[in-house]
Chain A
Amino acid sequence: MELKGWPRFAVFTLAWTVALFLLLPGLVAIPVAFNDSRFIALPTTGLSLRHFETLFSSGGWLASIGDSLGIALASTAIAVSLGTLCAVGLWRVTPWLAGLVAALLLAPMIFPPIVSALALYRAWVAIGIYDTWIGVVLAHSILAIPYVIITVTTSLSLLDGRLEQAARSLGASPLRTLVDIVLPNIRTGVATAAVFAFIVSWDEIVVTMFVSSRAVYTLPRRMWDGIRENVDPTVAAVATALIAVTAIGVLLAVMSSWRRGGAKAT
């Protein structure tokens, strides 16, 4: 639809206002991170890097970054391998079975976080993996599997099923077919799935709060405590670092999809 004159001006102004409303508030953590006071406040007397110093010199914050990174890597490995295997299976089994299994396996993504948190909390206490590394990794893997299945299923839908049939008819086992034929063709999808799984685990807070307490203390958990107790400006330094990483990540992702789109057009 053509949009001209004042309606165009009005709609574009509104849209850019909303965009700034979305973008700008997040950035406010940046000046706070560079202030020189020991409270969460905007810099009034001067700038300093003391909160970043605290972040990188305090054992607690570094340990939490370590916990989060380790847990995210481990649960990404589990979620991507099981999820990819499952997605390939869903691609090849009869539709009713695929529908049923997919519906069951998407549940962790659909259920409200607090419901998952309570259920896993009780289960983890019962089987003795509450507040352990393996417990948090398993919880995060379960939450990430739906994202992996959806992403890999999308890239499988672009793959010609006859490739798989050809391999199978030449006598390759399903596993051989997976490794030699399917995986090389969906590697971009699998890589994207890995990114999703990593972010799901890295950002997860509600379930983590319920399945761990002090032995495993992830970064979001420590941030949550820092914000709730409302005393620790180191949280603003962490937020600033996360904003920088997020912005770079989004920029790289958009640029690469832009370039791929551009290459397709030529």
Chain B
Amino acid sequence: MRQPYIGFLLPAAFLVCGLFLVPVGQLIILSFDGFAEPSLRWYAQILETGSIQRILWTTFRIVTITTLIAVLLGYAVAFAMAHMGPRQRLLLLLCVLVPFWLSVLVRALAWLILLRNNGLINEGLLATGLIGAPLPLVRNEFGVIIGMVHYLVPYAVFPIFATMQNMDGRLMMAARSVGASPLRTFIDVYLPVTLPAVFGAGLLVFVFGLGFFVTPAILGGGRVVMLSEYVSISVLQTLRWGLAAALSVVLLVATLALLWIVSKVVGVRRLLGNA
């Protein structure tokens, strides 16, 4: 078959493949110490070094907690949105959309202003006499988790809301008409129907969280170092390119594997299209 439109694909394909995918490929090769004498020493170092293990564990722990909270809060917002009048829904949507479009740097700055030792929350609590010394709210995991949850909730809201909106209302009516209580209907009908979207949104949020750089770097203040920041330190400060490349490959493989699972559960296009 003749394909007269094939030429249309070429400019973008050349740009992305030549200047992006090839360099990523070179990074992968670098992680194996190149073609001449391939080795797995950087990967062995990841498996053996205690400090790297701790970074990986911190990242995994923070991202898991963040994802659980973000999905729970996102579900509540989506559920309320699906059951509101149009006016109230629009207002709630605005409250979610404005921060969603706000620069990640502005958001990190805002949380820094709020959570610092001489920040708004600590000064307020000190002034009321509720606490005697400032609470440690930032430059620790607590601060990083708050900042990340704040960033990720909208990413959970939109896919879950889309599923709730497209739901067949007759399902619930049927359950109610055969005598199920509202709570039973929710648990046995509503929740199972929305669960794939929740799972998909959760994985998507998890993937975003894994790759987070700005929020942990600013709110962790150098004390909570997550994977992406550690990679950048390896390159810019300790100059260990091989290690940075190997960690990048680990991060990339984890990301692609999780997205593959998402695509099996809900269809990645739908999720990305809605986000």
Q: Which residues of B contact A115 (CB under 8 A)?
A: 24, 27, 211, 248, 251-252
A92 engages B5 (CB within 8 Å): yes
A242 engages B102 (CB within 8 Å): yes
CB distance from B120 to the nearest CB of A (A): 6
Contact of B79 among A11, A85, A118, A174 (CB under 8 A): A11
B15 engages A235 (CB within 8 Å): no
Q: Which residues of A contact B183 (CB under 8 A)?
A: 7
A163 within 8 A of B: no
The chain B residue sitting closest to A235, CB to CB, is B109
- Describe B's contact surface by its main secondary structure: helix
B130 within 8 A of A: no
Q: How far is the CA of A174 from the CA of B3 in the complex (A)?
A: 10
Contact of A246 among B101, B123, B213 (CB under 8 A): B101
A11 engages B83 (CB within 8 Å): yes
B211 engages A25 (CB within 8 Å): no
A25 engages B111 (CB within 8 Å): yes
B132 within 8 A of A: no
Q: Which residues of B contact A122 (CB under 8 A)?
A: 23, 26-27, 30
Q: Which residues of A contact B84 (CB under 8 A)?
A: 12
A170 within 8 A of B: no
A2 within 8 A of B: yes
Q: Which residues of B contact A82 (CB under 8 A)?
A: 11-12, 15
Contact of A120 among B23, B108, B182 (CB under 8 A): B23
The chain A residue sitting closest to B230, CB to CB, is A114
B92 engages A104 (CB within 8 Å): no
A105 within 8 A of B: yes
CB distance from A37 to the nearest CB of B (A): 12
Q: Which residues of A contact B1 (CB under 8 A)?
A: 94
Q: Which residues of A in the span 183-209 have a Cβ within 8 Å of any Cβ on B?
A: 199, 203, 205-206, 209
- Counting chain A CB atoms within 10 Å of each CB, the highest count among B150, B183, B213 belongs to B213
CB distance from A78 to the nearest CB of B (A): 8
Total CB contacts across the A-B interface at under 8 A: 266
B21 engages A104 (CB within 8 Å): yes
Binds B, one of A45-53, A55-63, A223-231: A223-231
A114 with B232, Cβ < 8 A, contacts A12-B80, A28-B114, A247-B98 known: yes
CB distance from B96 to the nearest CB of A (A): 6
Mask of B255-275 contacts with A, CB within 8 angstroms, 1/0? 110010000000000001100
CB distance from A63 to the nearest CB of B (A): 18
B27 engages A89 (CB within 8 Å): no
A28 with B120, Cβ < 8 A, contacts A86-B9, A116-B20, A145-B16 known: yes
Q: How large is the interface on A (under 10, 10 to 19, 20 to 34, 35 or more residues)?
A: 35 or more
A239 within 8 A of B: yes
Q: How far is the CA of A82 from the CA of B9 in the complex (A)?
A: 8
A113 engages B76 (CB within 8 Å): no
The chain A residue sitting closest to B167, CB to CB, is A1
Q: Which residues of A contact B245 (CB under 8 A)?
A: 118
A254 with B97, Cβ < 8 A, contacts A145-B15, A242-B106 known: yes
Q: Which residues of A contact B65 (CB under 8 A)?
A: none
Q: Which residues of B contact A23 (CB under 8 A)?
A: 95, 98-99
Q: Which residues of A in the span 10-31 have a Cβ within 8 Å of any Cβ on B?
A: 11-12, 14-16, 18-23, 25-29
A22 with B186, Cβ < 8 A, contacts A29-B109, A239-B106 known: no
Q: How far is the CA of A132 from the CA of B169 in the complex (A)?
A: 56
CB distance from B236 to the nearest CB of A (A): 9
B73 within 8 A of A: yes
B135 within 8 A of A: no
Q: How far is the CA of A249 from the CA of B99 in the complex (A)?
A: 12
The chain B residue sitting closest to A238, CB to CB, is B106
Contact of B27 among A85, A118, A174, A230 (CB under 8 A): A118
Q: How far is the CA of A20 from the CA of B99 in the complex (A)?
A: 10
B8 within 8 A of A: yes
Mask of A27-45 contacts with B, CB within 8 angstroms, 1/0? 1110010000000111000
A26 engages B113 (CB within 8 Å): no
Q: How far is the CA of A26 from the CA of B150 in the complex (A)?
A: 10
The chain B residue sitting closest to A23, CB to CB, is B95
The 5 closest A-B pairs by CB, nearest first: A89-B8, A112-B211, A15-B80, A19-B95, A123-B23
Please list 13 pairs of residues, one from A and one from B, whose beta carbons are closer than 8 Å in the complex, sorted by A's number.
A1-B83, A8-B83, A15-B76, A25-B110, A42-B120, A93-B9, A110-B255, A112-B255, A205-B213, A206-B228, A220-B105, A236-B109, A250-B94
Given contacts A112-B228, A243-B102, 15 further A-B contacts (CB under 8 A): A14-B80, A19-B95, A22-B95, A29-B109, A41-B118, A89-B6, A93-B6, A94-B1, A104-B13, A104-B16, A118-B244, A178-B8, A205-B214, A227-B108, A254-B90
